[in-house]
Amino acid sequence: MTNDNRVSQVKVTQREPERERRIFSFKATQVVWLLFGFLITMIALRIGLKLIGANPLSPIVTLIYGFTDIFLFPFTGLINSPSTGNIVLELSSFFAILIYGLIAWGIERVIWLIFYRPRGPVVDVTETTTSEHHSN
């Protein structure tokens, strides 16, 4: 007695061309906004601390001022900062926030121009395998 069993298996997968490049461009722009967002937040904290006349000898204030001094150096003396006692309104820091925001936006646009590829049609790949099995 011969028993013919034929087994067919169909496997359909979909590939999306350039998917990895789109993911990379998305992740890269997220990193850019994360870094510049952190910088802008630190500058905003500095503005707030200067406005309330925070003690510059406090460790956290020293840390924030030290970190932001590096990035505010190009803007030092750009605009006079009105002050009363310990309270200072650093107008140059507001300008720095604007400039760093524009730089972040520019870097993000360059990343999208270089790496982003628009979504194309999804490609279906069909694999069919047939195996014959004979048993007595």
Q: What is the pLDDT of residues 14-36, one digit of tens each?
A: 666 677 888 888 999 999 999 99
The answer as to whether 13 is a domain residue is no
pLDDT tens-digit readout, 77-129: 888 889 898 899 999 999 999 999 999 999 999 998 988 777 665 555 666 66
For residue 2, what pLDDT is reported? 53
For residue 77, what pLDDT is reported? 86
The count of C-alpha atoms lying within 13 angstroms of the C-alpha of 127, restricted to the half-sphere facing its C-beta, is 4
The answer as to whether 55 is a domain residue is yes
Using CA atoms, how far apart are residues 123 and 26, in angstroms rounded to an integer? 22
Number of structural domains, the chain? 1
Task: Output phi, psi for 53, to 5 deg.
Answer: 70, 45
Classified as helix, coil or strand, 10 is strand
pLDDT tens-digit readout, 61-77: 999 999 999 999 999 88
The answer as to whether 10 is a domain residue is no
Domain with 120, as residue range(s), is 20-135
